[in-house]
A and B are shown apart, each in its own frame.
Chain A
Amino acid sequence: GAGVSQSPSNKVTEKGKDVELRCDPISGHTALYWYRQRLGQGLEFLIYFQGNSAPDKSGLPSDRFSAERTGESVSTLTIQRTQQEDSAVYLCASSLWAGQGNTGELFFGEGSRLTVL
């Protein structure tokens, strides 16, 4: 597609429920990133994919968070047993590749706003 697409744009859920957030990167981009932005705070790195593998999962806050990517395309971020502190905007970004020679320009989607009641 023309840009990074994320869905849903807004999600309200009850504490304890599971949620899935989807990211469709720019076609041909092999690197895909997930960030979290809590209200009034900066961007917190969660995980990135190079192709379908995730070399760096260091930012995932707990084992309730997981992500996968298939076909070097769509990625899904899953949050199990949501808590109120999970409320945030979850941003997805993609780039041509990650690593040597990449100058690091990322293209961001508009985010999925998650509210946990």
Chain B
Amino acid sequence: GDSVTQMEGPVTLSEEAFLTINCTYTATGYPSLFWYVQYPGEGLQLLLKATKADDKGSNKGFEATYRKETTSFHLEKGSVQVSDSAVYFCANYGGATNKLIFGTGTLLAVQP
């Protein structure tokens, strides 16, 4: 069945460091891919998405490229800030399943 695997955390970085959170997926057909973020004490919110191969989603300095050949959707940011500290979830949505399948989440802690 459809699944998402993302790197385990926690990831601890200093401010202005480069961030990569790896995500790979399995899916039937051509899913849409997402990164959701959950800031401390807040609800889950969409960070970025890509709906087809080679699309790049971007928002708030974060980027992820839909790579069909490697079934990956790695999240990157060139220079993280303390305010980026949160839990990041990779997810795929397949038209065959009609539901979002989430990874286990990666806790990012950015230190000043």
The answer to the question of A45 belonging to the interface, with a C-beta cut-off of 8 Å to chain B, is yes
Interface of B is mostly: strand
- Nearest Cβ distance between residue B18 and chain A, in whole angstroms? 25
| Residues 101-113 of chain A, each 1 if its beta carbon lies under 8 Å from chain B, else 0 | 1111111111100
C-alpha spacing A93/B34, complex, angstroms = 15
Interface size class of A (residues with CB under 8 A): 20 to 34
Nearest to B95 among chain A residues (CB) is: A100
B98/A42 in contact, CB under 8 A: no
A104/B100 in contact, CB under 8 A: yes
Nearest to A98 among chain B residues (CB) is: B98
Tell me the residues in window 71-112 of chain B with beta carbons closer than 8 Å to chain A beta carbons: 89, 93, 95, 97-105
Given the interface contacts A104-B34, A105-B46, does A99 sit within 8 Å of B95 by beta carbon? yes
The answer to the question of B44 belonging to the interface, with a C-beta cut-off of 8 Å to chain A, is yes
Query: Which 5 residue pairs of A and B lie closest in terms of their CB atoms, listed nearest first?
Result: A104-B93, A42-B104, A110-B43, A98-B98, A43-B102
Q: Which residues of A contact B (CB under 8 A)?
A: 31, 33, 35, 41-43, 45, 48, 50, 55-56, 91, 93, 98-111
